[in-house]
Amino acid sequence: MTRARSRTPVLVHLGAGVAVLLLAIPLLALLVDVPWVSLIELLSTRDSLDALRVSLIVSLLAAAISVVLGVPLAYLLARSYFPGRGILRAIVTVPLVLPPVVTGVALLSGFGRQGWFGRLFGTGLPLTTAGAVLAATIVSMPFLVISVEGAFRSGDGRLELMASSLGVGPLETFWRVSVPVARPAIVAGAVLAWARALGEFGATITFAGSVQGVTRTLPLEVVLAYEQNTDRALALSVLLLAISLAVLIALRGRFLPSR
Amino acid sequence: MSLVLLTPACSSQGLTVDVYAGSSLTNVLQSAEQMYESRNEGVDIRLNLGGSNTLSRQIAEGGGADVFIPADAGVLDDLPAGRVGGEPIALATNRLVMIVPAGSDIPSAGGEPTPTEVLDWAGSLARCATGVPCGDATDRWITASSGLPSPGTITIENNVRAVLTKVRTNEVDAGLVYSTDALVAEGDVEVVPLGSEGPHTSIVGVIIGPTDPDGDSMGRMFLDYLASDEGRALFRDAGFGQP
């Protein structure tokens, strides 16, 4: 340990120090500005509580759907070889780099009242909680897929080969061998996906709108509150920060490798 | 180093005028910018368009605006006194209207549906947030006209153009915007006038000072242009009322 530390160049320390400052300064400034005295009062308004409830429902559902659908997708990308796999991977990961507003506009074309979905079913997903969950899922699933695909890829497939030579069927092999081996990556990916879903703003406001108690999540409430009452916006921001930090710290200790 | 060279150089020569303006003024100011720049070679009108309150906050925090034209004069009250350089110049007026997607089939007793009939029919409504000018105008209208039916789903947007988009793309059944926004989306939306209760807003421009004297005089010239007969005509063509 000591030796490793003494080898770290000064320049690296310097870079790391500046990085910590850049990340920490806005958070510290936020904590200084927050009206602590009236915090509970500001957070217990009907609007704030509604936003908290919608945020928790939407982000947890988005993370759950990301796991249920993303793990099979990651497995396919890691273990199967088929033409167009590179293109598929690009499609899966493009929401990572696309501005969320663009994702929201694309969602309108696909699932809006005037979009494909609307023409098929006569109604769209905008202004519904399902729409907010869809927007959050699309922007957060790539985090899970990337994390889990790496884990599936780094396993060399020998365990799976062994299982199938013992007469275990492919589905059972996937469920009993591949998934448990990739579990730390699945948990890490699920946490990342959840965190991204919790912070989601652009796709949600563009696609799902800002309906109180239905699609208005905490980030949307922060932006709205910022127009009316800066104190409430700050209080909501600190709430969002507290939830995120609590979950990231709790899970880091329990599930993620903390070398 | 390069930052120091790039940014102030333009404005210290007085060639760039930073104009912060409410999003409802997008189209008219884009036309004015084009006209003004073609007349005055070397002058660059730089538009920063957005929610008036957000812009006001940016100015209060030291944003480099030379001219500020919010969607309603009331926004100026929030600016720190030291940043407003001189008296506001009246440019135009606007009024709130209700819009519905073109081709909406609204049951109506008379020939044209009334706002109440629209709200009775609409399942969803988009409006501006309380606190932004179009949202405050919406609140004034609701207070003035008692007993309005409320659609089941109301989405609240941070600026008037977001409301317009929601109606224009037919994702909501109705919305409340300025009459000039409705004009921009002519063909996509139909206007339902609010009648005598329909609130008006007044659009004024002010010089933001005193950080940049050269920019200020250039800003004054642009404001004078907007208040001139030619500028007034641009506002009129865009559907604004005369001040």
The domain defined by A40-254 carries CATH number 3.40.50.970: no
Inter-residue contact A175 to A220 (CB < 8 Å): no
Phi, psi of A8 (to 5 degrees): -70, 120
- Specify the range with the lowest mean pLDDT, choosing from A49-63, A100-114, A148-162, B163-177: A148-162
Alpha-carbon torsion (B24, B130, A227, A60), positive or negative: negative
State which residue of chain A sits closest to B56, comparing Cα positions.
A227
Give the pLDDT score at A212. Answer: 94
- The structural domains of chain B, with segments of one domain joined by +, span 14-93+201-237, 94-199
Average pLDDT of every residue of chain A = 90
Beta bridge partners of B21: B49, B69
Burial label for B241, CB within 10 Å (0-12, 13-18, 19+), is: middle
Query: Does the beta carbon of A215 lie under 8 angstroms from any beta carbon of chain B?
Result: yes
> Which of A127, A223, A228 lies at the smallest CB-CB distance from B153?
A127
DSSP per residue over A72-88, as a string?
A: HHHHHHHH---TTHHHH
Instruction: Provide the 10 A C-beta neighbour count for residue A59.
Output: 27
Give the pLDDT score at B5. Answer: 40
Query: Does the beta carbon of A113 lie under 8 angstroms from any beta carbon of chain B?
Result: yes
> Which of A211, A224, A228 lies at the smallest CB-CB distance from B154?
A211
Mean pLDDT, range A166-171, rounded to an integer: 88
CATH (residue range B14-93+201-237)? 3.40.190.10
Question: B8 pLDDT exceeds 60?
Answer: no
Nearest to B107 by CA among B122, B121, B125, B124: B121
DSSP per residue over B54-117, as a string?
A: HHHHHHHTT---SEEE-SSGGGGGGS-GGGEEEEEEEEEEEEEEEEEETT-----SSSS--HHH
Angle at which helices B133-144 and B160-168 cross, to 10°: 70
Sequence-separated (6 or more) residues with CB below 8 Å from residue B137: B72, B96, B128, B176, B199, B201
Fold of B94-199: D-Maltodextrin-Binding Protein; domain 2 (3.40.190)
Phi, psi of A169 (to 5 degrees): -70, 165
Inter-residue contact A144 to A193 (CB < 8 Å): yes
> Which of B157, B158, B171 lies at the smallest CB-CB distance from A124?
B171
Alpha-carbon torsion (B100, B102, B105, B107), positive or negative: positive
Sequence-separated (6 or more) residues with CB below 8 Å from residue A38: A231, A235
Instruction: List chain A residues with CB under 8 Å of B168.
Output: none
Mean pLDDT, range B89-110, rounded to an integer: 92
Radius of gyration over every alpha carbon of chain A, rounded to an integer in angstroms = 22
Angle at which helices B213-227 and B26-39 cross, to 10°: 110
- Could you report the per-residue pLDDT of B38-81, keeping only the tens digit for each? 999 889 999 999 889 889 988 988 778 889 999 999 999 888 87
Angle of CA points A216, A218, A221, to nearest 5°: 65
Strands (E), chain B: 16-22, 44-50, 67-69, 84-101, 124-128, 153-157, 174-178, 189-192, 200-208
d(CA B15, CA B12): 8
Question: For strand B44-50 and strand B16-22, is the pairing parallel, antiparallel, or unpaired?
Answer: parallel
Q: Which of B55, B125, B138, B171 to mutate to test the interface with A (most CBs of A within 10 A)?
A: B171
Question: B217 pLDDT exceeds 90?
Answer: no
Instruction: List chain A residues with CB under 8 Å of B172.
Output: 127, 209
Q: Which of A211, A212, A216, A230 to mutate to test the interface with B (most CBs of B within 10 A)?
A: A211
Inter-residue contact B29 to B184 (CB < 8 Å): no
Query: Does the beta carbon of A228 lie under 8 angstroms from any beta carbon of chain B?
Result: yes
Question: B196 pLDDT exceeds 80?
Answer: no
Give the pLDDT score at B11. Answer: 42
Chain B from 136 to 155: CB within 8 A of any A CB: 153-155
d(CA B179, CA B161): 12
How sure is the predictor about B216, in pLDDT bands with cuts at 50, 70 and 90?
low
Give the pLDDT score at A208. Answer: 95
How sure is the predictor about A87, in pLDDT bands with cuts at 50, 70 and 90?
very high
Inter-residue contact A196 to A139 (CB < 8 Å): yes
How sure is the predictor about B150, in pLDDT bands with cuts at 50, 70 and 90?
confident
Q: What is the ipTM of this complex?
A: 0.80
CB contact under 8 A, B156 and A124: no
Average pLDDT of every residue of chain B = 87
CA A37 to chain centre: 32
Q: Buried b / exposed e across A176-202, counting CB within 10 Å, b at 16+?
A: ebbbebbeebbbbbbbbbbbbbbbbbb
Inter-residue contact A208 to A55 (CB < 8 Å): no
Chain B from 156 to 215: CB within 8 A of any A CB: 156-158, 162, 166, 169-172
Instruction: List chain B residues with CB under 8 Å of A112.
Output: 169, 171
How many angstroms separate the first and last alpha carbons of chain B? 46
Question: B215 pLDDT exceeds 70?
Answer: no
Question: A156 pLDDT exceeds 80?
Answer: no
CA distances from A209 to A16, A59, A132 (A): 39, 16, 8
Sequence-separated (6 or more) residues with CB below 8 Å from residue B103: B190
> Which of B51, B156, B170 lies at the smallest CB-CB distance from A210?
B156
A16 or B85, which is more confident: A16
- The structural domains of chain A, with segments of one domain joined by +, span 40-254
